[in-house]
Each structure stands twice: as structure tokens, then as C-alpha cells.
Amino acid sequence: MKSYNLYQVDSFTKQKFSGNPAGVVTNAAGLNEVQMQKIARELNNSETAFIFPPVDADHDLHVRFFTPTMEVPMCGHATIAAHYAYSVENNLPSMQIVQKVGAGNLPVDIVKTGQDYKIIMTQGDIKFESPFNLVIKSRICDALGIVDSDLEPEAPIQIVSTGHSKILVCLKSFEQLRLLTPTFSDLIKISHEVGCNGYLVFTKDSPDPNCFINARMFGPALGINEDPVNGSSGGALGAYLVRHQLIEHSGQHEVRFKVRQGFSVDRPGIVEVVVDIDEAGNPTLGKIIGDAVIVYKAELVV
């Protein structure tokens, strides 16, 4: 029997019981995959993060992420939660930590402000897949309960990844986004066929002038019908907006914007996205910035 430090952390918010909850075990050495999966299932958050000592010298921490049903290579909100809890527990100064995750070795910046922290997560290589053909596009629209005329015409439906791929769908209006009632069984079938488990549906039509994008993320194939505030999609979304000229970036080396999520499930939260841009105007790197708050800390004995 061993004692583990278990946290429940709400990410992308400073208000408890909002944002996106994640479980965090800050001293996971000794847990095996079966135990981690059972802990994630028991907590029933969209993801639970497990922090291990480094495997070798090229990183500082090894972090693994589990949904209630499977391990995933990377998770934005659980990364924010994990490093927030670890920073608070160890009273870390501002610093950069390299985390080894399923998507590779990625830097995380710990920014201490007073007695609190912001976490900046650098995401993986940007990868665009070809836009879907008309058949798959039509099936996705049907599963989401929308029609082709609801889509922004300059914004193709396609898979983009910065470590954990998402299918990006851009709608014209916030009201369409707010009223979505997907058929989750159909989304699962499509996910299995195209090899992507998450659907980030978003719009530039925002009721909040401080937030450029409003979004909802559906991941029924991961066991998550709707993720309140999804962070791993941030870099992919930013790269997509730059690639398709959906955000002004002429002559800029980076763009920053905020994404408002969680409004549809009464867990509001904000993700700040930063995208680096090269001289040719191409997106080269995505980062997300998030607040967090600890809801509780407990002792887990396994």
C-alpha cells in the first residue's frame, strides 16, 4: 500500500466549479496502467494526469493522461491542472519545465504571480490533413445537426493536430453553436473511420467582445460527449485560423486571442491561445495559457 497526493483542479478559470475539472496525481511513481485507468474512471473527469519522475535527462517530468476509458497522448486542461498543482505543492518559482508526454517532449512555463500561478503549455508540431470530401463533410454536418449553409464558406472541415488531433468545424453564428444537439453515436462512427476522436465546433460570432472565438468540443469516442473547456485544441485552432486567413495576422510574428467555452454546460472558462508565425505567414507553433484553481486535495491509498 502506498499513499498518493490526489488533486481535483479546475482549469481555465479562477472560480471553483467552473472551467474544466481534471484529476491530478502529483507523485504517481508506483502506479501501473491498470491502476491509473481505474483511478481515472473513478474520478470520471474528462482526463486525469499522472506525474512521474523523468525517464531520462532530456525532460524534467513524465506526465501521462487518462480519460475514463483510455490513455491519450496529450491534454491541454489536464496539463494546466497538473503543473498548477505541482507548482503549488512544491512552491516553485517562475521557471520552464520540459514534460515528456505521448506527443513528445514539450516545454511548460510556470509563471508565478504573487502566491499564484499561470501555466503556459507549448504544443507539438502542427499537422494539417486534407479537408474532408463531400461525403464525410455531409455526414459530419448531419451528426452535428447542421446544414452546409451553416458553415463559414472559407473554412473547410479538416483534421488539425498539435499533438492530439481535432476535427475543426467553423459555424457562421453563435446561436447555431449554442443550440447544437449532436447525435453522438454518429460522431463515434465517423471518429473510428477517420482516426480522430474530437470535434471542435466554433464560431467567430462572439457575444463577448473580449473573446475572439466561442467553441464547443465533442469527444464521444473518448467517452466525453462534451468537454467543458478544451485546451489541446487551442494550438490546432490557432494554426487553422492563420492558415485559412480567418484571423488578421499580416506582418505579425504572432497572434493572440481568447477562446470562450463551457457556456453550454454551465462551466465557463477562457483559453488564451498564442500562435507563432513565420516570414511567409505560416503558423509554426501553438501555445495555450491558462489559470487554474484547486478544488480539493486528498490522500489516495492504493
Distance CA 222, CA 212 (A): 27
Non-local CB neighbours of 68 within 8 Å, separated by 6+ positions? 40, 41, 43, 44, 45, 46, 223
CA distances for 279 relative to 241, 276, 282, 283, 286, angstroms = 17, 10, 7, 10, 16
246 near 154, Cβ under 8 Å?
A: yes
Q: Which of 173, 161, 176 is nearest to 73 (CA)?
A: 161
Instruction: Please confirm, yes or no, whether 272 is among the known catalytic residues.
Output: no
Non-local CB neighbours of 21 within 8 Å, separated by 6+ positions? 8, 9, 10, 11, 45, 46, 228, 267, 295
What amino acid occupies position 139?
R
Looking at 47, 193, 226, 299, which residue is catalytic?
Answer: 47
Find how far residue 237's CA is from the centre of its chain.
Answer: 10
Cα torsion angle, 235, 18, 34, 63, sign? positive
Q: Which of 26, 30, 48, 27 is nearest to 38 (CA)?
A: 48
Known catalytic residues are 47
